Chain A
Amino acid sequence: MQVTLYEDELYEKEIIKEESLQFIVFRVYDEWYAVEITRVKEIVKVETITYLPSSPAHIVGIINLRGNILSVTDLKMIFGFPKTDLTRDSRLVVVESGLVESGILADEVCNVVEVSVSRIEPTLATIPSERAEYIEGEFQDNDKLIGILKIEKVLDKREQI
């Protein structure tokens, strides 16, 4: 009995040593991005997005989320990708930063990935600078290069109309 207990303790300690973070991974056009799971409030399916006139280009509209108005941020507009239509796979990754909330439009939400901190690398120097300021770092998963989004920066974008 005593031995098992001891082993258990050891096991737990090992987990704590190996510090890791969980990310929600999603696709935007043909690239993969991730948001740390603690920043994600929920993931919702999108049916209709109401166009909001006079708003910045990266705000593609607003939705009615159980009676509350939620803005929809389209990273494609920030990163300069072509616009895509909503499909059955489209989802909104609802993120928050302080009081500010928005739904990030994902063409597909992949899965939750656990990544040890050591695997996270600084942003590639080759990423164009207009995109680089929204990326915190990156990691490889199943041959995919995944960029970690800087949520504050994305939600802070207030761009000319």
Chain B
Amino acid sequence: MRAGLSFGGLLAVVLVIAAVAGSFAYLDMPLGALFTGAAAGEIADFVGRFFPPELAPAFLAKVGWAALETLAISLVSTVLAAVAGAVLALPAAGRHGVAGRVAARFVLNLLRSVPELVWATLMVLAAGLGPFAGTLALALHTTGVLGRLFAEALENTPPAPAEALAGTGAPSLAAFLYGTFPLVAAQWLAYALYRWEMNIRMAAILGFVGAGGLGALLYFSLSLFHEAEASTVILAMLAMAVVVDGVSAWLRRASA
């Protein structure tokens, strides 16, 4: 083997550079304009309008309630998704025959491949504006994700403990809960907590399509060019994400 770049490697580098250059040309991006003195002034001006954040008590209370709504949406949707995901994971892991496996996998794929924002738009049309639509949308997408992860955990679990219990005549639900569930519980919880962290960020965004919470507030503020208010909402989102990450890390440690 020779030292240095092979012909194939060289070709790949040239192709990537050509693709990037082509993309810039196609998108017609005036990148140069970002670095002029006038642009710098405009940027400073734009960012400056977000400061200081709006701290009037009435608005803070509004943000607080919206944050609670976002938290509730993410929590309820994740719990619903974890339950529905567990129910679908059993057939998806092949525990009820081949037909059940194919059907469950199809449903999970369908739920997962439609993004949250699309589900939210559909649910707003179906169930009307508000947090209910946001909760349903997040629950549907997360069911698809968690169901697939749960099923994979189940497939990697040794069957001996549950089989031994079935061998003493235990009903299949009891054999599952005593023989299989303890083996996957920690992993299932870790997956659910991870999705909860993602859902709280997503719940903050869903308000943009009318599904309630902090996102709705952010959308109103920005539409009315109230940048100071928007800044408060963004800070609230950040704070909530930090708190939820901490809580979920603590829960994971406690369950390990």
Q: Do A and B associate with each other?
A: no
Residues of A within 8 A of B (CB): none
**Residues on B facing A (Cβ under 8 Å):** none
